Amino acid sequence: MSGVGKQRRIRQRLETYRAKRGGRVRRRLPPTTVPSFFTLMNLFSGFLAIIQASEGRFENAAWLIVLAAFFDLLDGMMARLTNGSSLFGVELDSLSDIVSFGVAPAFLVHQYALGEFGLVGLVVSALPAICGAVRLARFNVNFDGEKKPFFEGMPIPGQAMFIVAVLLNASWLDSLPGIDTTQITFLGPIIVLMSVLMISPIRFESMPKPSAEFLRAEPRKGLIYVGALVLMLIVPREGVLICLSTYVLVSIWRTFSEAGRAALRSSPVENAENASGDGKAS
């Protein structure tokens, strides 16, 4: 009898345990977990790039910055897919970006060449980090949670990728007459231009969300993006440099052409107002 009672108590405890376990609410990971993971991988890649640059492995450092840009692209895509956009994610992304696309390329160009040019080389090397910090702070202050079709100023990953593309193509660039990528007269203007573009009011088109709706609405742009992707897959080093150079030139041309058209549209109005004012005065 005592044995039967003992078995009954064990069964009751087991049923109670199962009931509690079955009714227990499993905690789900917050939507920001996956995007934040890729953001931290971006940061880790930038850290590794700094380590590699300090050891003189410049090509490894350059490719690690490219890897950081890939993770940066993934965290944005994951945030949209999982609806995981948040203020925390924005701040974490900016902190990671300033390391991977500000400090890492700045340190890379300093170690690669500009450190040989004293104070001037030091100041020029620091510009990607300094202007990148200003660029990200301005973005965070103006961020309202909505994805816009244009960025004000060149995105910090874009300028880092441009600098990296120049270094990855140094072998054939150096074969061109009058070009030496280790000289401040060549590398310095590129660094200054990229840094100024980050804090400029020039509008740079943002990366669209890849979807069938976008391809139907903008077939020409979709074809351009696909062509650029194919080019970068076939010839990664040259493809990245060509695509980013085109991106920069088109953005500058579009901004100034739009400003010129706006000035031309406002001129007849101003002339008419001046003429009417002169008529009243007479």
The DSSP code sequence of 68-135 is HHHHHHHHHHHHHHTT---HHHHHHHHHHHIIIIIIHHHHHHHHHTGGGGHHHHHHHHHHHHHHHHHH
Q: Which single residue is written with the structure tokens 């590794």?
A: 48
* pLDDT at site 54: 96
Using 70 as the pLDDT threshold, list the residues of the chain that sit under it: 1-8, 10-11, 14-31, 84, 145, 208-212, 214-215, 267-282
Identify the pLDDT of residue 267. 66
Domains detected in the chain = 33-207 (1.20.120.1760)
Specify the pLDDT at position 212: 66
Number of H helices, E strands in the chain: 12, 2
Structure tokens at 192: 């200054």
Which residue in this structure is represented by tokens 């000035």?
Answer: 263
Q: Which of 243, 256, 145, 246 has the alpha carbon at shortest distance from 200?
A: 256
Q: What is the pLDDT of residue 210?
A: 64
What is the distance between the alpha carbons of residues 46 and 66, in angstroms, rounded to a whole number?
9
Q: How far apart are CA 38 and CA 119, in angstroms?
A: 36
